[in-house]
């Protein structure tokens, strides 16, 4: 009996000791978490290993440009330790707004909204901001500049249109019948159209004879069919060039021209992707020039701005990404096939930017590489 009592007392003492030790350890850990951060040299928001959840929602889709944009945003976010989910509505307005409202009721910390062209997008983003979430919008409704805390990012659409159209005017010597591939409603398209109208007003020898444009999951296919129909209306000598305000238009037009044997009609476009580069480099291709910003870099820069917002750092109300001109002649001079990775060997600075790059972002990348 005495032995059992001693045994019981010993076990109780050990248990009490473990309990006290556990409490002490818990207290020390809590104190360490508060004062000795897990990741040094980064904003407090990320110092304890917090990995924010981000939702990237894009209205348009079905093209390589969209895929590269989403890949850039996701890659940059995950490199910083964020959890990133992406969604494209493929041009379906209802699906686009449903995705935003569903995500608002989930536990996301930040949003990148792309190509939200309507007033409903402004209302949706206002709800997100009111809920205390951070938002970056790309190529979206200009009225978003009135929503406090939102950064509206755009390509320099005026420069994109000017670079491409200047080449069209130069190569046709200001005398040409052209087809215009454009779709109304989207803010970047509205800006590009303004430049187009100015160019036509200043160059009366440039005459628009046809136009087509639709934003859908199969934009390139619909464009191919539309351009094929145009070619039947305008035999050789009656159509000189096509101005395509989106590469999904240009790729469809290029296919139609090739199939019809009408590659004397030249294409001057906007935007670029691997598929575009392959087509432009093809011997005999009608696609002469395209003005562009690296879509993967666009996604990355949007994510950096969002990261700064999450960190509580100052961000601009608007930001424009610099445009570049890509020529068929330069691409075809290359000894090796040119793609989105090695395009920087042709276009200086392509795909590279230190905009909104902070030292603490480098620290996070190093931490999450492990």
Each residue's pLDDT tens digit, 220-236: 999 999 999 999 999 99
DSSP states of 30-49 as a string? HHHHHHS-SSTTS-HHHHT-
Token pair 């000795």 is found at 36
pTM, two decimal places: 0.81
Nearest alpha-carbon partner for 166 in 277, 293, 288:
288
pLDDT at residue 301, rounded to an integer: 98
Per the document, the length of the chain is 370
- How many percent of the chain have pLDDT more than 90? 85
Nearest alpha-carbon partner for 189 in 167, 169, 211, 204:
211
Answer whether residue 28 shows pLDDT above 80.
Answer: no
pLDDT at residue 63, rounded to an integer: 85
Answer whether residue 21 shows pLDDT above 60.
Answer: no
pLDDT at residue 1, rounded to an integer: 40
The tens digit of pLDDT for each residue in 30-74 reads 333 334 558 999 999 999 998 999 999 999 988 888 999 999 999
**Extended strands (E) in the chain:** 53-58, 83-88, 110-114, 134-138, 151-155, 176-181, 206-212, 241-244, 266-270, 287-292, 318-321, 324-327
Angle formed by the axes of helices 64-79 and 359-369, nearest 10°: 80
Rounded to the nearest 5°, which phi and psi values hold at 125? Answer: -70, -30
Nearest alpha-carbon partner for 80 in 128, 42, 27, 37:
42
pLDDT at residue 268, rounded to an integer: 98
The model's confidence at residue 13, banded by pLDDT at 50, 70 and 90, is very low
The tens digit of pLDDT for each residue in 116-134 reads 999 999 999 999 999 999 9
Round to whole Å and give the CA distance between 214 and 37.
52
Answer whether residue 256 shows pLDDT above 50.
Answer: yes
Round to whole Å and give the CA distance between 108 and 52.
7
The tens digit of pLDDT for each residue in 310-338 reads 999 999 999 999 999 999 999 999 999 99
**Extended strands (E) in 317-359:** 318-321, 324-327
């Amino acid at each position: 009996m005495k032995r059992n009592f001693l045994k019981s007392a010993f076990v109780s003492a050990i248990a009490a000791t473990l309990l006290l030790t556990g409490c002490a350890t818990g207290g020390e850990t809590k104190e360490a978490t508060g004062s000795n951060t897990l990741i040094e040299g980064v904003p407090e928001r990320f110092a304890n290993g917090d990995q924010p959840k981000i939702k990237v929602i894009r209205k348009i889709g079905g093209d390589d440009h969209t895929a590269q944009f989403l890949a850039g945003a996701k890659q940059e976010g995950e490199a910083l330790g964020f959890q990133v989910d992406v969604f494209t509505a493929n041009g379906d307005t209802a699906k686009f707004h449903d995705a935003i409202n569903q995500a608002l009721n989930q536990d996301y910390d930040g949003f990148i909204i792309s190509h939200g062209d309507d007033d409903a997008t402004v209302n949706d983003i206002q709800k997100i901001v009111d809920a205390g979430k951070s938002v970056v919008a790309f190529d979206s409704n200009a009225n978003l500049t009135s929503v406090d805390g939102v950064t509206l990012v755009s390509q320099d659409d005026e420069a994109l249109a000017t670079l491409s159209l200047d080449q069209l005017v130069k190569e046709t010597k200001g005398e040409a019948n052209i087809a215009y591939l454009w779709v109304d409603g989207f803010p970047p398209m509205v800006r590009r159209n303004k430049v187009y109208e100015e160019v036509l007003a200043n160059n009366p020898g440039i005459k628009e004879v046809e136009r087509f444009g639709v934003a859908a999951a199969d934009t390139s296919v619909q464009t191919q069919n539309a351009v094929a129909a145009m070619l039947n209306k305008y035999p050789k000598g009656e159509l000189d060039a096509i101005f395509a305000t989106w590469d999904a238009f240009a790729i469809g037009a290029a296919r139609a021209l090739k199939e019809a044997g009408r590659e004397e009609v030249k294409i001057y476009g906007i935007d670029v992707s691997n598929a575009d580069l392959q087509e432009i480099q093809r011997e005999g291709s009608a696609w002469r020039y395209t003005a562009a910003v690296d879509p993967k870099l666009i996604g990355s820069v949007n994510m950096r701005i969002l990261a700064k917002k999450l960190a509580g750092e100052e961000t601009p109300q608007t930001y424009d990404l610099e445009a570049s001109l890509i020529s068929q002649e330069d691409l075809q001079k290359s000894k090796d096939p040119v793609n989105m990775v090695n395009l920087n060997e042709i276009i200086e600075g392509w795909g590279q930017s230190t905009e909104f790059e902070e030292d603490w972002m480098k620290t996070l990348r190093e931490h999450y590489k492990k």
